[in-house]
Structure 1
């Protein structure tokens, strides 16, 4: 990795963009990396190394392993009792040469304190239910040093529902096991949904002393008492560490359970000590012992690390891009794909998972198919679906059927496998039916859900969870009606491809009826209203509070509902909503709570859904720009919401500079700040916005369609995509620096007469030249 340390920079990317080096241990907030495997074991790593570790079973039963994100490594000089952490926290002792390297497959912390150079690497192996820590401590000075290293975690093992008075801590105990060479936390909870509620922390090296009772390590008054009378240790100034003591070889039951392993050793000048630790869960002590045996062989640890690295890159390498913009290259290659991939870990919601799966289709087709099929199994026979199946929530959100239709069409475009329509999938309420029957049930549901104006009713909410029109149960959603129009168009094309012409004709007729109803009842003169209600139409120039909503405009264009003069007026209305770092969901924000709008209006103006800069919805807008042929606007919009943007850098937003966030605040008291990163659909829509919108490479039933919507500033770009087994390497040229424009395409030296690339399915690489204009 090429790195130049610049003191006024918080971070820098490696040349290939696959690593981000954090140069300061105190960014505006914790900057995390997430590491996980296909067994659904996940470790969250901050720039100081702490964070939560957890496991999700196939049925999404959670086991949160550690409490209060407790994962710490302390070092102590045994001569003067000075103490420090590699990442400075939580002791806050100043160190030198600090850096934290968050990479696609691991995190590495490094620093130096009084001539002791230390590093801490964390990775999650491809197999198992644990993470591996590799510690290296080197004496770079000229005198002998005696050191202690304390590796500390808490044990929590919570995350599932159980009857009152069966709190997990009442069923837990810790003990040191010689064969494990570490602390084992045993649990005997009678209502545990699976067996993996046993934790352990073990070492490759002989343990000098240990503590299983965190009160003995942290001190009896260095605890925080909780309402249930249990306590969790605070790790800022542990007694054992600060007073120059050794661990007490304690074991515990009931309260303040954890694992602390102390290693004490001498380092001669130039000598280095290497220690490997393993932290995770198991079904038994025997399983923990077996897992820990793997870290005794240092060569085997490195092999496991290399396998994890290779796997993490291999699963996302089928899609890549190189543009004239280095910032886009760093974030829109592996980081955005990793983020999309992570959004599916533990997420169990029909709407959310289908959106993420749509983006996964661009590079992890089998994973995307599995997610789509699982979502279909949580659809009811009457066509609607649960909001989430973990935790279970079947509140009547109106938009689930749309995402089902849309995702199935995208899946078949990607695979080209029409026979998928005949696969059997279970219903949430029993029995099973073909995928096509699931899709038709979704269509029938949305038609049956039409209200008095011919638009689809909103029920509790649609895509916007916080838009709850509590005063009118018959209120209709304009956004969802636009989306249904798009679904009807997409499904009609698929039905024609499969020879179901009668049904295709029915869908075309329904599209025309719905489009006319929207334009008759929801057009407000210069933009589309957001919802129709007998009490008050929402998002109208005559509405109380907010006058316009973004999503009602973007989806009108994506679904071809806005045509003629309405198209230009809608685009003008969207442009009028533009903010320095994205687009608000609605404007102006509601000044006070309105029962006609519900939860969103009860938030402070400019926060979250109440006029916040909603990056997820701005992702829809990127594809809208491409649909309208506005490549410059599409790129400009993408860069506005990209991490560490020009107008809202990470030092202001607080968000990590390598992953997308869900929202930015427009409220003066929290201006520009980010709410959450990593787990947001923004990543999926921005990925699709770049690859499918700006570069215009998208799956179609007959092959890979190429319809770029280039920004004029780009003279060239390069992209690789695997489609139906063949690898397409594409070079885009824009010599006249046009915005959008028709493209001339050659494949392996032969000019195409269409914009659909041949469906080779031959496992070979094909060279594609795309010239704009």
Structure 2
């Protein structure tokens, strides 16, 4: 099988659906984040990670702490030769045994560890059952030695059962209660404390609402539910005392430190194989039964059936849209990994190694849900309505909120509320589901309204937040959270916000027309006109647009600034919005190219701040070149691709894309360090001594946006109310590419041919052999497959 983007650390399989890691010793932990929308887990290439149900911060099941250097928390399986006493683990951690070979296959919804130690080949496959709160650990053992082997297999991890992290373990362990259930070959765990108040507001007066279980498919030789008796005092997981004893201690109850270990014994003749299934899960009390779940899924047959279902489960999200281009990195990421990252981690898991979230960001997961539009748009619909319910009657919203029991900060962030109408527009263009506008949604404080009213309320709230010069006020910050001190007194302005708001109004005014809300439609257009004039009068710096002004009236992102002279967002959104005329659009994008477009994508600002500025915010407190402070913040860097494409600058659009597309970093992974199969939140900028280093992978909004700009703005196939518009912006050497995707009930197989080596423009389009006028493929909506040929 062909290996794609092979490096010293691994490669993509030929179909792109797995990334195979060939050593435990990657530059940083290389992970998989696996979720079915309810239950989730994270696992690294060494076996580190943790599990949760519903929320990794509020409802963690297994205990772990964030340490990317040691990567020494996980759910481990020990394999011990009972004759020699030698033992090792099914993953490299914790024992760190010498192996003959070691491979880790991260796939879509699963991870598989393959190794050979001391003549025993093992394959450990981890995945989450697609429709149950259960993770399955399928361990396959094969005796490749020439003699019979007596082995025991022992699992081990720590319970947490509730809020994470439990820094005060000596307190939290007092509430965990464990017991062994012989009829299910399972350990069960409850916790008599969850960090919530009760219905009367009494602190620490609620029990954890679940029963956790850990089960094994084979007869249990022994078990233990106490960390101290398993590990031993002053020892660790690499050499636990349990591996020196014939059997485990069988400690359970309320007086130890809650852990879970199950031990089973097997004999393998020469060339014999055996499969052992372990499961971990959490059953909600009163609704599910832990023993029933454990019994249902803890067998070889059940595990194989669940794994088969897993493939069908992910196919509906991954395979409803496919592209084939001359760029294999674009194909792999667009077809598979960006969708998976955005859904499994960002929307469902809400957790990874660099960041654990306990909730939804209002603007964050709204943007992310665009990933559903070409596959399962009902999921985007649900997300939009969920976010609308986090709005106050005044129109402002929670910056983020907890997914269990709700609640979150009501801040002065100025852009959050506007993402509701922005994402609604994308949803409507994909689906034409105008009925969503009439969906009734409650406000957080009083009353309810239809979704149209919620969006209108957000816009009206923003109308009240303008400076005397006609520029929207930045408040606590705009999209750039790090500008956290610019406008707390509601005097500082945001020119980027003006551009973003311009797009929102431009899209929303026709909806107001459609609903007969004529006065509001007219007001939207009046504000658009005045805001466009104000931005160009007060925000133009000569070669680019300002980012903001402070409460004291100082300019941010100006040629007159020594540091932070130019910001990316106001330049690219000046183009995206249409606020900039042709000359200024060209000038500001030329400035992006000159100052911001670097080897690994477009920097968020230049030059980086080297001194703390209390009047600007915590962005200046990062070391220079890190994250927002002069690094490549991947989320915003994708918008540069969009802007270059709108300018018709195919060369730079593709370069801005190629430089942030992760497989393209495979040639310098020692310095990049991050996983080459998912997007990083950021890469270090030129002034960092680690220039190009990737970080904050998986849990980043850049995954959906990298998919978005590849399909909509480079390949140029995007939804409009009239149908699918085709407007390529590609490298001229590309002779052909194709897109297969569903759209409003029909399926479109689109082939774009480029016989004249053009970068932009469409000469003709034929649908099912018949030429159509223009460059918009009609909306057939007939559940049929349509063959489309586009000639550039």
TM-score, normalised by the number of residues in structure 1: 0.94
2:154 pairs with 1:155: no
Kindly provide the CA deviation profile for residues 599-627 of structure 1, in whole angstroms up to 9, marking residues without a partner as x. Answer: 11011111111111111110111111111
1:711 Cα deviation after fit: 2.1
The CA distance in 1 between the partners of 2:185 and 2:442, in whole Å, is 47
Q: 1:398 to 1:341 in 2, by over 3 A?
A: same
TM-score, normalised by the number of residues in structure 2: 0.91
The CA distance in 1 between the partners of 2:400 and 2:257, in whole Å, is 33
2:493 pairs with 1:482: no
2:372 pairs with 1:392: no
Kindly provide the CA deviation profile for residues 79-131 of structure 1, in whole angstroms up to 9, marking residues without a partner as x. Answer: 22222223322211111221111111211111111211111011111222120
1:273 Cα deviation after fit: 1.5
The CA distance in 2 between the partners of 1:28 and 1:604, in whole Å, is 21
Q: 1:160 to 1:395 in 2, by over 3 A?
A: farther
Find the counterpart in structure 2 of residue 34 from structure 1: 33
Kindly provide the CA deviation profile for residues 688-735 of structure 1, in whole angstroms up to 9, marking residues without a partner as x. Answer: 101111111211122222222222131111111111111111111111
Find the counterpart in structure 1 of residue 201 from structure 2: none
Contact 1:158 1:168 in 2 (8 A): no
2:543 pairs with 1:526: yes
2:83 pairs with 1:79: yes
Q: 1:367 to 1:299 in 2, by over 3 A?
A: same
The CA distance in 1 between the partners of 2:2 and 2:290, in whole Å, is 39
Contact 1:217 1:248 in 2 (8 A): yes
Find the counterpart in structure 2 of residue 228 from structure 1: none
Contact 1:340 1:360 in 2 (8 A): no
Deviates more, 1:280-289 or 1:317-326: 280-289
Find the counterpart in structure 1 of residue 324 from structure 2: 322
Q: How does 1:272-287 map to 2 (within 5 A)?
A: 272-283=273-284, 287=289
Instruction: Indicate the SS of the match to 2:505.
Output: helix
Contact 1:22 1:100 in 2 (8 A): yes
Indicate which of 107, 110, 127 corresponds to 1:106.
110
Find the counterpart in structure 1 of residue 585 from structure 2: 567
The CA distance in 2 between the partners of 1:445 and 1:392, in whole Å, is 20
2:54 pairs with 1:47: no
The CA distance in 2 between the partners of 1:734 and 1:437, in whole Å, is 46
Indicate which of 457, 461, 471 corresponds to 2:473.
457
The CA distance in 1 between the partners of 2:149 and 2:678, in whole Å, is 41
2:572 pairs with 1:554: yes
Q: 1:60 to 1:262 in 2, by over 3 A?
A: closer
Flag structure 2 segments of 5+ consecutive residues without an equivalent. Answer: 66-72, 197-205, 351-358
1:270 Cα deviation after fit: 1.1
1:751 Cα deviation after fit: 1.1
Deviates more, 1:137-146 or 1:417-426: 417-426
Find the counterpart in structure 1 of residue 612 from structure 2: 593
The CA distance in 2 between the partners of 1:263 and 1:178, in whole Å, is 13
The CA distance in 1 between the partners of 2:755 and 2:707, in whole Å, is 25
The CA distance in 1 between the partners of 2:121 and 2:4, in whole Å, is 18
1:493 Cα deviation after fit: 3.3
Q: How many residues align?
A: 757
The CA distance in 2 between the partners of 1:128 and 1:469, in whole Å, is 45
Q: How does 1:351-500 map to 2 (within 5 A)?
A: 351-390=363-402, 392-470=408-486, 473=489, 474-498=491-515, 500=517
The CA distance in 2 between the partners of 1:579 and 1:244, in whole Å, is 58
2:231 pairs with 1:218: yes
Instruction: Indicate the SS of the match to 1:392.
Output: coil
The CA distance in 1 between the partners of 2:343 and 2:536, in whole Å, is 38
Deviates more, 1:244-253 or 1:390-399: 244-253
1:176 Cα deviation after fit: 1.7
Q: 1:743 to 1:24 in 2, by over 3 A?
A: farther
1:64 Cα deviation after fit: 3.9
Find the counterpart in structure 1 of residue 770 from structure 2: 750
1:276 Cα deviation after fit: 0.7
RMSD after superposition: 2.4
1:424 Cα deviation after fit: 1.4
The CA distance in 1 between the partners of 2:296 and 2:660, in whole Å, is 43
Indicate which of 312, 315, 322 corresponds to 1:313.
315
